[in-house]
Amino acid sequence: GQQVQQSPASLVLQEGENAELQCNFSTSLNSMQWFYQRPGGSLVSLFYNPSGTKHSGRLTSTTVIKERRSSLHISSSQTTDSGTYLCALEPGSNYNVLYFGSGTKLTVEP
C-alpha cells in the first residue's frame, strides 16, 4: 500500500505568502528526504531529516516521528519557488529504499 501521503497535491500562492507542505506516513521512519523537482525533472535535495527541525534559508523541515508526519515550510514565497516538491520516506524496516510521495505542485504568482 501507499507508504507516504503527500498534501496538498497543488497549491497556488501570491508572492510573499507562506506555504506548508505535508507528508504523512503509515510505517516506521528512519528518515525523510525533501526534494525540489525542477520543471525539467532534475532533483534538488532540500533536507535529509530523520527527526526534529532543520532550517535552510527560507525553508524549514520538521519531522515528528510520533505523529508520523513531516512538513516543509516555505516562508515569504517567491515566483522562483514554483515547481514540484517531493518527500521521500526511508522506512525503519528497510534502510535501502526510498518511497516517494506523489508531490505538491506549487505555483507562486507575482
Among 24, 30, 51, 60, which residue interacts with another protein (rule: CB under 8 A)? 30
Please give the radius of gyration of the chain, using alpha carbons only, rounded to the nearest integer.
Answer: 13
SS3 71: strand
Residue 9 binding another protein, by CB under 8 A: no
Among 98, 104, 106, 108, which residue interacts with another protein (rule: CB under 8 A)? 98
Q: CA 106 to CA 21: how far, in whole Å?
A: 9
Cβ(28)–Cβ(91) under 8 Å? yes
Binding to another protein (CB under 8 A): which residues in 37-66?
A: 41-43, 45, 48
Binding site for another protein (CB under 8 A): 30-31, 33, 35, 41-43, 45, 48, 86, 88, 90, 94-103
